[in-house]
Structure 1
Amino acid sequence: MDQWFLVMLSNLLHLHNSLDPTTDTLSTTATSSANSTTTLLHSSSIAPLLLFTMASVLSYVASTRTPSSPSNNNRRKKRRRNPNASDYSVAAFRALSTEHIWSLEAPLRDAQWRSLYGLSYPVFTTVVNKLKPHIAISNLSLPSDYAVAMVLSRLAHGLSAKTIASRYSLEPYLVSKITNMVTRLLATKLYPEFIKIPVGRRRLIETTQAFEELTSLPNMCGAIDSSPVKLRSGPSSNPATYHSRYGYPSVLLQVVSDHKKIFWDVCVKAPGGTDDATHFRDSLLYQRLTSGDVAWEKVINVRGHHVRPYVVGDWCYPLLPFLLTPYSPSGMGTPAQNLFDGMLMKGRSVVVDAIALLKGRWKILQELNVGLHHVPQTIVACCVLHNLCQIAREPEPEPWKEPDESGAQPRMLDSEKSFYFFAESLRQVLTEDLHQKLSSR
């Protein structure tokens, strides 16, 4: 019996003695408990009987009370720690998405949706409608739109599975499972639709004309760059291979962007310690370009040379006919070469801005907190969502500031020698044409 109950019973008995002095339940004489009870019941006052009844009831309550277990205490602490969990329930989400949302003006509605899920309501519904048939096959116990909203909230704010689980009143393992499912669907089912090499003539003309307006270089169709994506915790085996040049564990993301900061190729195949050239040579894009699998439809003539569409990169990439790089990273070339380098790097700036925007929009990429096996699909999923937002002309958030780059110029492989000599003459032709074009203005 609890100590608080014994004190209460003692106080009740003292109260009885003061009300009915004819019976002394606290008498020091040696009487049995049965006699004491009989004395109480046969007292001339009603107070002893009333007090005895109250004491019996309190004794029964105290004896049937379930002792508080540590697990119960933990549950109470969790409830106190997460007082607004109901705000993220299915009912609350359903009210927001089906009832309240239509009473708001579109700008206010979409601003509220972006603050929660990183994109506007129309783009959100597009994602849900495209993923819903695939999610339905998995027999998920949660509604499809609710599951997608939960994952987008995690990607947009960089939250861990544990934090999301507490907020949505779910188990962390279930949050991880749903995150893996949704990001895998984005990276596989939606990738072919929203990340495509611009081989069609119409898109090529639009892209190359936009780059030419920016750089005065003809037939440029994209810019390539790599960026380390920081991991919250590196792998236990071969950790040194994952350390980027900036000193933290990471994997390497390679993207090619057009003038609208839309990615038309994404590759995540290497740990962060890999150099850009090696990662590029291991990519599917390199294999397709070197084998002639990509059929560029737009070919122009510059000073008697056939110039096919090409991408531009910095000096960390190999010089190839389809990938032009600067002459010098330090501006030590001729005036014509320095002019070419400046315009080339101006074109390359679009991919730098695109990566900064990607990491600013999907903050989970600032420090990935998913399992290593799910890292590539999570990064690719964010790239797909980035393209969706760019195509829909979503407002651009504050970009993530990348550290200044540094890296050595790659060595030329024997298999690339013929490519290199052709690319060198092509670069020289474009340099002379650019110098003459801008000098005559």
Structure 2
Amino acid sequence: MDQSMLILLSNLIQLHNHLDPTTSLLTSTTASPSSTTNPSSLLSSSSSSSSAAPLLLLTLASVLSFLSHPQPSPRKPLPSPPKTSDFTVSAFRALSTDHIWSLEPHLRDSRWRSLFGLSYPVFTTVVEKLRPFISASNLSLPPDYAVALVLSRLSQPSLSLSSLSSRSSIDPFLISKITNMITRLLATKLYPEFIKIPLARRRLLESTEYFQHLTSLPNVCGAIDTSPVKLRRAPRSRTGNSPSFRCKYGHDAVLLQVVADHKKIFWDVCVKAPGGVDDAAHFRDSLLYHRLTSGDIVWDKSISVRGHHVRPYIVGDWCFPLMPFLMTPFNAKGTGSPAQNLFDAMLMKGRSAVVDAIRLLKGRWKILEDLDVGINHVPQTIVACCVLHNLCQIAREPEPETGREPDEIGPAVRILESEKLLYYQGQNLRHALADDLHERLSSSR
């Protein structure tokens, strides 16, 4: 029994003896038989305490009953509800419906870009394009909030999965599932609408005219290049013959191949190989290569240069194979003839369109600087970012300041036996274009 309770009981018993002298009298008589007691005084004391003694006995009984039953442990205080996050549905709804419209348009769009990587009008376009598919998935989140959640992750590299989970009060596993769903929809449902080969004559003419103004080369319709996308966690090769993810710049990556037009809009995107695969092998494994070599892509625009039939073609660096539909430089060191060196300089000038496009892609969607998603979801995440990039370019979103891509390194490509005929055709065409360019520019001086 607790010491404090023993003291309490002792005090109660002493109080009871004081108020009920019959008990103390009996005790004293037993102790000293020779002592005498006045009956009248005893009667008066007894009558004066008769009303208090039963109350004390009842109190004692209650205390003993209380002590005889085990007492429940004190309840732990309920945890306080989490503080309202700055990224909850209600906060997002307030931002998108009330606060956003109280700002000037340029401030509104600037605020939206800082949060989601694109302006409010482009954001609403993405949401409306994806709304039917998101609604059909029975996702418990509103479509605009789900898209905002994913765009935040794609555009803000400092916003890790755990920090985004803390901000939104959504489990990291659920955020990963939502990210996979939205990027898959962007890469499949919106890809055909926003990433197209320029087959329409109006778009083709616009592109070739711009490149001719930039490079003085006729019928250029695009520029091709590859870029390694760094992986935070690359899988190990299962066999010794499997391609390595270690790219030529020394880090684990997958290889992204794109073709861009004069507006830095991608009209072809391919993500098929680990970073250790060279550019030519990646190109040869792409759907674009097979469509070009099979004649499946037919551009309705043709010119004649020094007796050579020239259809629209793309330009690339020396890491790609030379073909009639893909012009590459004569050499990387500038040791050719004056006509060849001039051609190389102009070709690389045209190639800058795709270099700038890749730079903008990684500048807007900074998750591509250090991609932290499961390897099975890497291609769709990269392609989704390319779709979003095109939406930004079509809407003429401001171009962010970004760093430059690393200089291209690597040996010249080896020509395959199956490509020799195309190579010779491309070689003849390249000489004709170089001589024609040199003659035109020399005579205009």
Q: Which residue of 2 aligns with 1:337?
A: 340
Q: In the alignment, is residue 109 of structure 1 matched against residue 108 of structure 2?
A: yes
In the alignment, which residue of structure 1 is the partner of 2:148? 149
**Displacement, 1:403?**
1.8
Alpha carbons 2:362, 2:369 under 8 Å: kept? yes
Per the TM alignment, residue 240 of structure 1 is displaced from its structure 2 partner at its CA by 6.5
- 2:367 partner letter: I
Which residue does 1:64 correspond to in 2?
74
Give deviations 1:314-369, integer Å, cap 9, x for gaps.
00000000000000000110011000000000000111111011001100000001
1:133 and 2:132 aligned: yes
Deviation at 1:206, TM superposition (A): 0.2
Per the alignment, do residues 381 and 37 of structure 1 end up closer, same or farther by CA in structure 2, a change over 3 Å counting? farther
User: For the residues of structure 1 that align with 2:341 and 2:401, how far apart are their CA atoms?
Assistant: 32
1:303 maps to which of 301, 306, 313: 306
Equivalenced residue count is 397
Match of 1:438 in 2: 441
Deviation for aligned residue 1:39: 4.8
Which residue number corresponds to residue 16 of structure 1? Answer: none
Equivalence map 1:349-428=2 (5 Å): 349-428=352-431
Distance 2:395 2:304 in 1: 35
- The structural deviation recorded for 1:265 is 0.3
Offset of residue 121 of structure 1: 0.2
Structure-2 change in CA distance of 1:61 and 1:175 (3 Å): farther
The 2-side partners of 1:303 and 1:223 are apart by: 23
2:215 is aligned to 215
Q: Is the Cα–Cα contact under 8 Å of residues 261 and 267 in structure 2 kept in the other structure?
A: yes
- Amino acid in structure 1 at the alignment position of 2:441: L
**Equivalent-residue separation in structure 1 for 2:266 and 2:210 (angstroms):** 15
Matches within 5 A, 1:242-257: 242-257=245-260
Distance in 2, Cα, partners of 1:254 & 1:36: 92
Q: Which runs of 4+ in 1 moved over 6 A?
A: 40-44
How far 1:145 sits from its partner (Å)? 0.2
| Superposition TM-score, scaled by structure 2 size | 0.84
Residues of 2 paired with 1:349 and 1:43: CA distance?
107
Tell me the secondary structure at the aligned position of residue 86 of structure 1: coil
Partner of 1:234: 234
**CA distances 1:243-293 after superposition (whole Å, capped 9, x unpaired):** 001111100000000011100000000000000000000000000000000
Matched residue type, 1:143: P
Within a 5 Å distance, the mapping from 1:172-321 to structure 2 comes to: 172-238=172-238, 241-321=244-324
Distance 1:38 1:344, change over 3 A: farther
- AA of the residue aligned to 1:155: L
- 3-state SS of paired residue (1:64): coil
Unaligned 5+ segments in structure 1 are 14-24, 27-32
Moved more, 161-170 or 225-234: 161-170
CA distance in 2, matches of 1:149, 1:382: 14
Letter aligned with residue 115 of structure 2 = L
Counterpart residue identity of residue 150, structure 2? V
1:129-172 C-alpha deviation (Å, 9 max, x unpaired): 00000001100000000000000000001233222111110001
Distance 1:34 1:116 in 2: 69
Helix, strand or coil: the match of 1:63? coil
Q: Residue in 2 aligned with 1:20? A: none
TM-score (norm 1): 0.84
Instruction: Report the aligned-residue RMSD.
Output: 2.8
1:17 is matched with which residue?
none
Q: Is the 8 A contact 2:245 2:254 kept in 1?
A: yes
Q: Is the 8 A contact 1:359 1:400 kept in 2?
A: no
How many angstroms does 1:65 deviate by? 2.6
Cα distance in structure 1, aligned partners of 2:150 and 2:18:
72
Give the residue type in structure 2 aligned to 1:65: R
Supply the distance in 1 between the matched residues of 2:145 and 2:315 (Cα, whole angstroms). Answer: 41
Q: 1:96 to 1:341 in 2, by over 3 A?
A: same
Deviation at 1:42, TM superposition (A): 9.1
Q: CA deviation at 1:43?
A: 9.3
What's the CA shift for 1:400?
3.7
Q: Which moved more, 1:391-400 or 1:155-164?
A: 155-164
* Cα displacement (A) at 1:105: 1.2
Q: Deviations over 1:416-438 (max 9, x none)?
A: 11101110010011001100011
Match of 2:331 among 321, 328, 344: 328
Q: How does 1:10-29 map to 2 (within 5 A)?
A: none
SS at match of 1:88: coil
Q: How far apart, in 1, do the equivalents of 2:298 and 2:190 lie? A: 23
Residues in 2 aligned to 1:356 and 1:67: alpha-carbon distance in whole angstroms: 54
Deviation string 1:95-147 (CA, Å, 9 cap, x unpaired) is 11112222211101100000000000000000000000000110000000000
Alignment of 1:89-108 (within 5 A): 89-108=88-107
Alpha-carbon distance, 1:237 to partner: 3.2
* Structure 2 stretches lacking a partner, 5+ long: 20-58
Larger Rg, first or second structure (1 or 2)? 2
Amino acid at match of 2:165: A
Compared CA separation, residues 154 and 34, structure 1 to 2 (3 A): same
Distance 1:151 1:97 in 2: 16
Kindly indicate whether residue 161 of structure 2 is the aligned counterpart of residue 161 of structure 1.
yes
Q: Is the 8 A contact 1:226 1:255 kept in 2?
A: yes
Counterparts of 1:181 and 1:324 in 2: how far apart (Å)? 38
Identity of aligned residues (%): 66
